[in-house]
Amino acid sequence: MQEFGLNEWGYVYLDIRHPIVAWMVYRGTVQSSDQSSTPGMLSFFAMNTLRRHPSAMLVEREGRFEGARQFHCPEKLSRLTSVFAYPDLASAEEGARQGHFKIGNLAAIMPKDDNFRREVYDSAYIDNYSSLMPDQAARDYWVGITPGSSTHREMLLSGSFFVLGTKLREQAKKVIWALGKEVRLALEISRLAAALGSDIGSVYPIAEKNENDANGVIRYLIRWDDNECADLVRQAMARFEANPNFYLDLEALAPLRAPAAQRDSKMFGFPDFRGKLLYSVSQQTTNVMQAASFDYVSRQQAAAAIGGN
């Protein structure tokens, strides 16, 4: 049973079968990749496009849309760095009917603070892209022209957003805990960090070239600092002592409560990013996206130079 109603602030699909997404969900926040201090971070939407859709059409579409944004509306949020969400439940459910997502992965979200941006667009250009004129569809999407009587809307978000409810988060916890006991302490500290307003444990994907072959890889960078972690645990324990209703996963924190002589020097464990969490990306795939973006901008610049529209 879903844990939200018709009037939540927004909705996002979070596929917790992917352990990094599960980590993010249990931590309790999702954030756009422009929140990272490291340049070149991707949104999870862009990461999934590269990882799951090596066929040219969808990748080309995203490249063309990014080119149109850069040329016509460079001040607007990029689909490649934003949190992809829906402004209402009907639009979110339509996304599942279109085959883009699974309804069981839907979660409600709300802004963590006032430092966010929200832009709403018409999903008809995405749903019907194969039957539209590609360049016009990419332009009209950004300038806000609504085709026909479409009511299927989507949001691009910049900032950090709380994941609401407990059902999906509990499922996400099981996914991470299945990776091994050594991960549990780091996961709990990451969750406490989000609850206490810290970015410790936040995670971002980045696509990198592989020097050994023609493919690239998608890696994940987790923000971590042992000294900050120790301070977060002290803050959390103080909160718990003052208010027993402040939730602590004492089982996960057990290694910290052991006598100093019994503590493992490598106390903080993370999922192994070299196995199922590291995905090969065809260099041809990334080239298609880049070429589509460059091609759109180049043709528009040429048309403007000779007085075209």
Q: 3 or 41: whose pLDDT is higher?
A: 41
Mean residue pLDDT of the chain comes to 81
Average pLDDT estimate for 138-166:
86
Q: Cβ–Cβ contacts within 10 Å for residue 101, how many?
A: 19
The answer, yes or no, to whether residue 2 has pLDDT greater than 70, is: no
289 or 167, higher pLDDT: 167
Could you give the count of Cα atoms lying within 13 Å of 199 in the half-sphere of its Cβ?
15
Read off the DSSP letter of residue 36. S
The per-residue pLDDT for 61 is 85
pLDDT of 247 reads: 92
Q: Please report which confidence band the pLDDT of residue 150 belongs to, taking 50, 70 and 90 as the band edges.
A: low
Contacts of 125 (CB under 8 A, 6+ apart): 132, 137, 138, 140, 141, 147
pLDDT tier at 264, thresholds 50, 70, 90: low
pLDDT > 70: what percent of the chain? 77
Task: Identify the pLDDT of residue 258.
Answer: 62
- The beta strands (E) that lie in the chain are given as 10-13, 29-31, 83-85, 106-111, 117-122, 153-158, 160-163, 203-209, 215-222, 279-282
Among 55-69, 72-86, 87-101, 195-209, the range with the most confident prediction by mean pLDDT is 72-86
pLDDT for 274: 37
Please compute the mean of the pLDDT values over residues 93-100 and round it to a whole number: 85
CB 288 within 8 A of CB 225: no
Write out pLDDT tens, residues 203-234.
888 777 666 655 666 777 888 888 888 899 99
Mean predicted confidence (pLDDT) in 70-74 = 92
State residue 204's pLDDT score: 85
CA 9 to CA 112: how far, in whole Å? 12
Model confidence at 160: pLDDT above 80: yes
pLDDT at residue 295, as a whole number: 77
* pLDDT grade for 53, boundaries at 50, 70 and 90: low
Residue 64 has pLDDT above 80, yes or no: yes
How much is the pLDDT for 303?
73
Q: Give the list of residues 6+ apart from residue 233 with CB closer than 8 angstroms, or none.
A: 189, 192, 253, 256
Q: Is the pLDDT of residue 86 over 70?
A: yes
pLDDT of residue 141: 93
For the segment 268-301, what is each residue's pLDDT rounded down to a tens digit?
554 443 333 434 444 555 566 677 777 777 777 7
- Give the pTM: 0.82
Best-predicted range by mean pLDDT (40-54, 147-161, 277-291): 147-161
Say how far apart CA 161 and CA 22 lie, in whole Å. Answer: 15
Among residues of the chain, what percentage have pLDDT more than 90?
Answer: 37
